[in-house]
Structures are given as structure tokens and as C-alpha cells.
Structure 1
């Protein structure tokens, strides 16, 4: 029996269907008999043993962090939209000094009396479950995945996988700020066992749900893969790297990622304890299979996941990859505009 509550400490549910108006239910349909629609689970892929890990010793790494030079070959359809933006004007935006804390996404600002206006300020009751689904079809629905959809009237959609210390409701503020800054639609995915999503928060179910979400966007909603961006924070870097390795999105964004759960436990508690932890979310394997540009944000003051994990992931990338390491950034707090939005736009325009 795996101790999922130790690795996935789901917080107390902070929302209901009635007070979260952006909540939608993405249906998962029963696969047809004449088609094989299986989802590759983590157990189906071969994993290297711990003795044959593919990492170089930390002493062999350079002290500086430099980016790879292999250019992404897919058509950069989003770049025309961002080339017209003046990056310098972003520095004068109203919310550039806003900080975010992952456990509750508490906003800290230099102007405490400032009022924040966004769609969640006015809550609307859910009239019927079918109104919250993206699309209803005649196929048999075996389950529904709760998600938060923020519609910014864009052709591009960013799929967001939140951290393990929060649910969708607590992650909403950060998702809304990212979508508003980049002018993208945001689809936040909930994990089983979190919020109102019943189930066990294990790796296989999370990866299956992530695969279902991508299939639904591409096959049902007819969104091209080049119009989809993937973003994962902390534990969310696991499903983010997984789906980015299976599909060809426009870009992969990782915030405070890790090499794998086992390697993280070994770093925190020692290799003896790592033996008792099953290998989960092998980001070191998946990131080497990603075929799109990758942007990694990891703080030097992160005391939860060491910066060395991000450095090793960056060196395993086979596509163009940029690593940003703000000194003041911790695992829970960072500056949205200065640490993420502005460097990300510069990377996209480069």
C-alpha cells in the first residue's frame, strides 16, 4: 500500500460547485470496442534502475546556467502575438510587485488598499451540471474531471497543473494572473483526492487524467497542439512533463520542478529512505523526450526542492531550454511579472 498522503498532502477542500463559477467538468468517454484508446501508465514504461541513473555527478556541472542552442522546429504560431508587445512596458504594470504563496496564493502588494477585480469576485451558481461540461456527446461517459476554465477569448490555451499544497480554488488567483498577462485561456486541472474530485491521488490516475485532458482539447475541441501550452508547478511538473513528452505543444513551462519523487526523497532524507519510495513522476526521463521549447523557473532560496534538480533537468533537455533562477524566490513565493512573465516573453521572442 503506497503512502500517497505523505507525498500528496491534499489540503482541505476550499470550494464547492456553487461558489466556483469557473468550474467545469471534462467528460471522459468509454473507449469504443473497435478502437484501442489506452492511456500509457507509468508502470507500462521501462524505468532505469537507481544504479543506472543517467545523471552526472554534481561536481561535473558548471557553476553557471546556460541554455541549449537547438531551435524548436515546429511553427512558432504564438510568436507573432508577442513580438508586438513591448517588454519594457510590462515593468510598469500595476501588479508587477505582487507575490504569490503556493499554499493559499496569498497576494502581497505594496498598495494594500488596492482592489482586485477579476471574474471570481462575482460568483454565480451552477444551474445544471451539463452546462459546466465543455461538450456533451452520445458516447458513454465513465467519469468527469473537475477543471477550472478561464476564458480570455484566445485561440491559445494553457493547461495548468497546480502544486500539491493547494487545490484549484486556491490556485485560481495565480492562474488568472498568468492568463491575464499572457492573454491566454487557462484550463486548470484538479487531481483526484483534491477539492471535490473523489479518488486516490496516485501517479497513474493523475497521468491518465492529464492524457484525457489533452485528448479532449485536441480531438473534441479541435485545438491544435501548437496552440496549447503546458505549465506545471512543483508536483504539477510531473504530469506537465509527461503530456509534453507525448504531444507536441507550443511550449512547456516548469515552476520549481524536481527530477523525480524518489530522487527528491533521497535528497531530503537520504538514499536509504529512497529505497522504500516507488519511483514516481520521472521528469528526468520525460523531459528528454519533449520536442518543444522549455522554460524553467526555480528559486535559489527554495528549501523544498533544491535548485540542482532544475539545473539537471535543463541539461537533459534536447530542445531549446531556458532556466531562470531568481535569488529571492522560494518554493512558495515569487514575483509574477519579474520572475515569470517578462523573462518568459523575452524567451519566446528570442
Structure 2
């Protein structure tokens, strides 16, 4: 009996310790900022800096729109950088769309540590920068890839923008975590990014694009987002995984859709 009690106490302490580690260290796993990032903008872009309401100065790449074109505000995924953002927006860039490729706190040499509230502050700073640069909200198309779907949805909810596109987006972050690690309870996930709850209140047109072979943010997320926003335009790309945003099919879909908004 004493041995059984000791074993029970051991497993209880182990479980509590593991829970504490998961709770306190999870953002290191959720936001794996690349160690290498572009220091100089590519041709056609310039390095700009946004300022958050909590005092952070964040880098971003910007290129103005050609006459008559919209401007895309792009939020990249959790393991990406501005280099990947350039690749994920090359289609509309070739057609003359304006681009503000936002970078997050803790990424790309920026100060601060990422988290849900922080990414919303970073998104707000990016929208504010565009407006101060003379781009009206109704000329802004917001695009969020993967975890970028969180700040993208929040900004589209707060501002009267032209449209919102989620690429490989999720219904909420705890659902993604549960699908990968069923033993982790949803309440343990500190950052929620509850996109499905917000989509019905977004006034702008919504486009949902997903790969049917995505094993990270599984296609059932697309189903939940679509259920939350019945009038959304939907594209399920055959054979595409979580790298969907960078492929030619996604570029064609994004470019054509932005063209229809003019």
C-alpha cells in the first residue's frame, strides 16, 4: 500500500510539473522565430517601422500600390519571416498590388516576446502605419497565413477593410493543439486566437483557402470556419499541405481574388 501511494504521489508530482512546464514554456514552441531573417528589403520594397501602443518599434517591408490597386497587409506563419512573406505574396505583387509585410515582436530582430495580445498590438500598429501613409482602410486587403490568421481576423474585425483572406487558417488555436496532442487539455493553451467566433462579426468579404493534405492545421478547421461564415468564398486546394501559401495555385487564387475586389 505504501509503495502504491508513493507511486501515485510520484505520478501526481510529475503531472503537475509537466503541466507547469507546458503552461509556462508553450510560447517557445508556438512562436519559433527563425534565427536568420532578411536585413535588407528586396527590390521594390523599403524597410519601414511601425510603432505599437506598448512602445515597440517593429520592422516591416513595404511597397506602394500601383494606381488603382489595393494594398495587402500580410501576416505570416509562426515559423516564417519576411522572406517567406515575400514568396507568399509574389503573385499579387507582380500585378501591382501594394504590400505591407508585417513582422511580429520577437521576430526579425524586433524587441518583445510574441503572444496573442502582442500580435494584436502588432497588427494594430501595421494598420495604423498604412493609414498614416495614406492608404484608406477600405483599400486594405488583409491576408493571414497559418497563425497569421489570428491577427488578420482580429484586424478585419476592428477595421472597415476591403476584404479578409485566411490561408491555412484555424478555427481556434486550442483545436490545433488538441489535434496534434490529444492529451493536452484545451484550457492549458494560453493563446486562443478564436477566429471562428469572430468571423460572423467581420463586415468585409471573407475568403478561406486551405490544402486538403494539411496535416498541421487539418481541413476540419476549414469546415468550422466555413460554418462560422456561411457567405465566405472557399477554395480547398487538392494535394496541398501546410505549405499551401507559397505554391503557384495559392498565388493564382490570391491574385485573381484581389483583382475582383477592384
TM-score scaled to structure 1, two decimals? 0.61
Q: Deviations over 1:23-58 (max 9, x none)?
A: 52334277xxxxxxxx9xxxxxxxxxxxxxxxxxxx
The structure that is helix-richer by fraction is 2
Asked if residue 163 in structure 1 is aligned to residue 74 in structure 2, the reply is no
Query: Relative to 1, partners in 2 of residues 1:209 and 1:146: Cα closer, same or farther, differing over 3 Å?
Result: same
| Bigger relative CO (Cα 8 Å, ≥ 6 apart) | 1
Name the CA shift for 1:342/1:161 in 2 (closer, same or farther; >3 Å): closer
Match of 2:88 in 1: 174
Q: Is 1:28 aligned to residue 69 of structure 2? A: no
Aligned to 2:38: 15
Do structure 1's residue 275 and structure 2's residue 190 form an aligned pair? Answer: no
Other structure's SS at 1:298 match: strand
8 A contact 1:23–1:146 mirrored in 2: no
Aligned match of 1:308: 220
Give the secondary-structure state (helix, strand or coil) at the position aligned to 2:89: helix
Deviation at residue 156 of structure 1 after TM alignment: 2.1
The secondary structure found in structure 1 opposite 2:109 is: coil
User: 1:178 Cα deviation (Å)?
Assistant: 2.9
The answer as to 2:139 corresponding to 1:227 is: yes
Following the alignment from structure 1 to structure 2, what is the Cα–Cα distance between the partners of residues 151 and 245?
A: 24
Aligned length: 236
Root-mean-square deviation (Å): 2.6
Could you tell me which of 275, 285, 295 is aligned with 2:207?
A: 295
Give 3-state SS (helix, strand or coil) of 1:3's partner: helix
Is it true that 1:323 corresponds to 2:234 in the alignment? yes
Return closer, same or farther for 1:335/1:187 CA change in 2, 3 Å cut-off. closer
Pair 337,6 (structure 1): closer, same or farther in 2 beyond 3 Å:
closer
Match of 1:217 among 112, 117, 130: 130
Aligned counterpart, 1:338: 249
Cα distance between partner residues in 1 of 2:50 and 2:224: 37
Deviation per CA, 1:250-309: give whole Å up to 9, x if none: 110110000111111112211643232124211112212111111111010001111010
Deviates more, 1:267-276 or 1:220-229: 267-276
Larger mean CA deviation between 8-17 and 159-168 belongs to: 8-17
Equivalent residue of 1:324, what SS?
strand
Residues 216 and 284 from structure 1, CA distance in 2 versus in 1: closer, same or farther, beyond 3 angstroms? same
Distance 1:341 1:28, change over 3 A: same
How far has the Cα of 1:150 moved from its partner?
Answer: 2.5
